[in-house]
Each structure stands twice: as structure tokens, then as C-alpha cells.
Amino acid sequence: MSSAAGYVTDVAYVPGFYPNLAPSAIRYVASLNRVAPPKVDHGFNYLELGCGLGRSLTTLAAANPTGQFVGVDINPEHTALVQKDIDRGALKNARIVTADFAHLPNDLPTFDFIAMHGVLSWVAPAVREQCIAVVKERLAPGGLFLVSYNAMPGWAHLQPIRGILRQYAVLRQGDSVSRMREGLQYLVFIRDKHAKYFEDNPRAAAYVDGLLKQDVRYLVHEYLNEHWTSFYFAEVASMFRGADLSFAGSLPVHTNFWDLCVRPEFQELFRTTQDRLVTEAHKDFCANTAFRWDIFVKSPRLTPDIRSRVEAMDDLFFSVTRPGTTLPFQTNLGVVTSTVQGPIYQTLLETIGSGSMRMSEILATPKLSSAPKEELARAVDAGVAMGLFDFSSGPISDQTYDASKPLVIGCAFNSQLLKNESLSGRALALASTLTGTGYTIGDFDASILDELVQRGHDQLADRVDARLVSSGRSLQEEEKPVTDVARRSQLVKDACDRFRTTALPQLFKLGIVTNA
């Protein structure tokens, strides 16, 4: 317990896959901020600090067979479950280490990528120092470090909820889960009896309802640790400056475009600010940022012109997120609703609409030759930021599946997930070696996929329905369980049809499902 330094260890965390941890995502963001990302074509080393149940680690290891992945966590219950996933998925390129950050094994290499998600805000100041020391010592020159944390000012009005919840829960009896349950009851009580804090902060009052819908194990790790801090961006930038790192951008991609994060009336102010660190601080205020995913680089090699940038990232591929998308395309990124339109985007949609292309191929397209290359690359990046385009570590397939042939799941990691976690009540991410990341599907869709792969299309809906009944998991309609048998069968049939027309073609394009 002492080496956990106040971090909860009596209750295991919940599994979750976070696509922001994918090497392709981290590399792409660095490249759009003019930092050459580490080369990955001859293999790379990746470390995740505080990997929890390791679903990001194992999914990314399965999706990037040329990378070597190491996860570290102090909680042996967590690491045992990660090891189980590694064994079941036959992941030869993944290793899990049970250790605290101050006592990592001596045989670790230096890393091209280090990721630390959901740790910095929740550990003691001394443990933060240990994390900084690991990054300083273990990140290779040119390597990228991804860190996420609770951010100010978005947490300002919510921070007292954490404070009172923990103060109440630590006085209760039992394990962290039962303390948390009692803490939640107390919060609801004081909110419903109109405690002045909640009256003065109506968004905090509404936030309590959100807490009630979360997995209680997640809430334990989020709120019951002894240490809990939300940081201003400038504090985190200064912390990692101590590890010789400089800021190289943030995720999601749109956060690198301040004009997509702040309302038009603020934009003139931003246009005149040259310093990126200052811009980030103001952006967080204008967008009321509550959570940040920052990328830092050690000894960066900069790519000031488009030629050097393309050279550094031309192993990434761009595709249209939803084929068939037409312009104008509207998207809301939290604070601003953005509209994509105009001839460049129309031609880009036509150019990459049916498959995927490297940036060099896009820039060399004759139909786009009249546009300056910088402008074109910027349009691709902004298209990615707005969700019109997607990027991947390899080309996605342009083939369509043949319904008359059997379907196959090629990857052992995906097969075991479908076998063990269909209908678990939690979404699951399947690894795609084509894109280098995971693709998340619902647990019910996972059971449809598993049935399709195991026993084909015949009487699919009946089989899925029988599986649903035997699992005890119910379908919901208007937030209520469906008890009528005929209605349930109809919903299952509709879900199977929808899966075959929408999810299955996508899984096929991503190479997760193939024809035998």
C-alpha cells in the first residue's frame, strides 16, 4: 500500500480502449505540428505507464505487430488480467510488468512512445516526479510522450464534488465500492435538498446524474484516491520541460486548430497571439476545457516545409470517414459548429472517396495541382480535425465482402475477445492491423459477429436471440428492458440486418473480418 502512495488498490479498474494512445494518432498530431514523428517501419518500442487493465496496450499490440509494447502497473490484480489477455491473444510483442514507477526493471529499452493516460491527476506529487524521471530517462531522442489529465478551468466548478464525495466516503465502512455507493447517495441527497452549492452551480447539479450512470469501479478510481489534482496546461508544460520535453500538439486532432475550439468572436484575439503555449491557455478558457491529451517531444526534429513534413509522415494513409459523405458537411466540436464546403474539399472527397491515399499521393493528384501544396495539406488536416477524413497506419481495404463465402477473424486477440466478452454489457475494441488501432463495437454487435463467424448467415437472428436469452442480458427500449418475446425477436432481427449492411462492410474494410 505504501508504494501505491494513496492510490486505490482494493478495487480493480474497468477495461477501456482509448484510440488516442495509438502510435498513428500520436505521430499524426506531431506531424501536423511540424515535428517529425519517430519512424515505425522497422519496428518501435512503446511504453504505457499505469496501463490499468491494459486494453489499450493489448489492442494496440495486436494492431501493430512490428511494435514492442510494455505496460507497467502497480496493481497485481490489473497486471494478472493483462497477462491473461496477452496469453489468450498470443501477443508475442506485449509484456506486462508489475511495478511502481520508481522501480522499473533494468532490462527495459528506450522508447519511441511513452503513454500515460488517466494517471497524472490521480497520483501523489512524489509519484508524478517518478513519472517525469521515467520519461526523462526512457524516452528516445525524437520520441513522443502522450499524457492526459483533468484540466482547468473545466474542472473548476466540479472539483468541490470530488472533494465532498471523498471526504464523505473515507468516513464510511467497507471497501471502496461500498464507500463510493454511500458517497453517491449522500451527493444525491444534498443536491435534491437544494444545498446552496448545487443551487449556485446548476451544471454541477446535473453532473451528479452523469455520475450515477457510470461504472462504480471507474468512479472509485476517479474520485477516491487520496491525491487528485486538475492542472492548467502551463503547469503540465512546465512539469515536462523538466524532463527536456517540448509541446508537440494535442488530441483529439481538432484541438490543434484553435478556430475549431473557440467561438468566432474570440478569433481575432487568437490571430494576434504567436506563442503556442499562451494560445493553449486562452483556448482552454474560451472552450472551458476539462480534460487534455497533450503530446510532448524530446529533442525534436522540425519539418518546416511541406516537403520535409510529407517525407516524415508519408507512411500514414487518409480516407473518407463515412464513404458517401456529401458537402456541405457540418460538425459540432463542442463549442463551435463547423461547416466544410468548397471546391478543394469536393475534389478531395472524390479523390480519396473510395480507398485511402498517402499525403504525397494526394498532393500529386492532377485535379488538385492548382492548389498550393501547403494549403492542400492544411485542408486534409482540417478535414481530419472535423471528422470528414480519417487517418491510418496503413491502406484500408477497398474490397467488399462476399456474403456467399465464410467469414474469418484472422487475429487471435480479436477471436478471444469475441469468445469471452460478447454480451458483457461493455463495448469492445477489435484490433485492425490495417489501421494500427482498435475499432469499437457494442457487445451485442460483437455477439452477432461471433455467431456469423462461427456458424454463418443461416437463422442468424434466431441464434443471436437464443444467445441473448441464455446470457441473461436484456435489450433496452426507451431505457427499459424489453420483456415481450415477439418485440425482442423483432429487435434482434433488425439489429442483425443493420449489422450486415453497416458494421460488417466496415469491419471488412478494416481487415478485422475477411472472407475465408
Ligand X SMILES: C[S@@+](CC[C@H](N)C(=O)[O-])C[C@H]1O[C@@H](n2cnc3c(N)ncnc32)[C@H](O)[C@@H]1O
Binding residues vs ligand X (CB under 6 A): 4-5, 7, 13, 16, 50-52, 72-75, 78, 100-101, 117-119, 122-123, 127, 221
Is the CB of residue 198 less than 8 Å from the CB of residue 204? Answer: yes
**Residue whose CB is less far from ligand X, 100 or 451:** 100
CB neighbourhood size of 247 (10 A): 20
Comparing CB distances to ligand X, the nearer of 107 and 458 is: 107
Nearest Cα to 306, choosing from 314, 315, 298?
Answer: 314
CA within 13 Å, CB half, 228: 21
The minimum distance between CB 221 and ligand X, in angstroms, equals 4
Phi, psi dihedral angles at 156 (to 5 degrees): -55, -45
CA distance 73 to 100: 6
Collapsing DSSP to helix, strand or coil, 53 comes out as: coil
Smallest distance, ligand X to C-beta of residue 116, A: 7
In the complex, the smallest distance separating the C-beta of residue 5 from ligand X, rounded to whole angstroms, is: 6
**What Rg do the C-alpha atoms of the chain give, in angstroms?**
24
Closest to ligand X by CB, 16 vs 65, is 16
CB of 430 to ligand X, least distance (A): 17
Tell me the torsion sign for CA atoms 122, 123, 125, 129.
Answer: negative
Number of residues assigned to the chain: 516
* C-beta of 36 vs 429, nearer to ligand X: 429
Give the residue with the Cβ less far from ligand X, 151 or 313. 151
Pairing of strands 111-116, 44-49: parallel
Nearer to ligand X, 227 or 276 (CB): 227
- Closest residue to ligand X using C-beta atoms: 52
Element (H, E) at 509: helix 504-509
CB nearer to ligand X: give 127 or 461. 127
Measured between alpha carbons, how far is 296 from 205 in angstroms, rounded to an integer?
Answer: 35
> Given the complex with ligand X, which of 7 and 345 has the nearer CB atom?
7
CB closer to ligand X out of 73 and 294: 73
Q: Which of 122, 231 has the CB closer to ligand X?
A: 122
- How would you classify the pairing of strands 428-432 and 437-441? antiparallel
CB of 229 to ligand X, least distance (A): 13
| C-alpha torsion sign, points 418, 420, 423, 428 | negative
C-alpha 172, offset from chain centre:
34
**In this complex, which beta carbon is closest to ligand X, that of residue 82 or of residue 359?**
82
| Distance in Å, CB of 140 to ligand X, minimum | 21
Beta bridge partners of 340: 329
Question: In whole angstroms, how close is the CB of 485 to ligand X at the nearest point?
Answer: 38
Q: How far is CA 256 from CA 197, 297, 491, in A?
A: 35, 16, 41
Beta bridge partners of 440: 429
We find the least distance from the C-beta atom of residue 7 to ligand X, in angstroms, to be 4
Rank residues 77 and 259 by Cβ distance to ligand X and give the closer one.
Answer: 77
Least separation in angstroms between CB 252 and ligand X: 16
Please tell me the distance from the alpha carbon of residue 322 to that of residue 387, in angstroms, as a whole number: 9
Backbone dihedral angles phi then psi of residue 148, each to the nearest 5 degrees: -115, 155
Give 262 or 428: the residue with its C-beta nearer to ligand X: 428
Q: List Cα–Cα distances, 369 to 297, 361, 394, in angstroms.
A: 33, 11, 25
Instruction: Name the CA dihedral angle for 176, 177, 179, 180, rounded to a multiple of 10 degrees.
Output: 110
Dmax (CA) of the chain: 71
List the grid coordinates of 366.
492532377
What's the rounded Cα separation, in Å, for the pair 40 and 176?
A: 42
Instruction: Specify the amino acid at residue 159.
Output: Q
Find the shortest distance in angstroms from Cβ 130 to ligand X: 7
CB of 217 to ligand X, least distance (A): 10
513-515 and 407-409: which strand pairing? Answer: antiparallel
- The distance of closest approach from Cβ of residue 61 to ligand X in the complex, given in angstroms and rounded to an integer, is 15
Q: How far is the CB of 69 from ligand X (least distance, A)?
A: 13
State the first-to-last Cα distance of the chain, in angstroms, to the nearest integer: 51
**Burial of residue 77 (number of CB atoms within 10 Å: 0-12, 13-18, 19+):** middle
Supply 291's cell numbers: 480534460
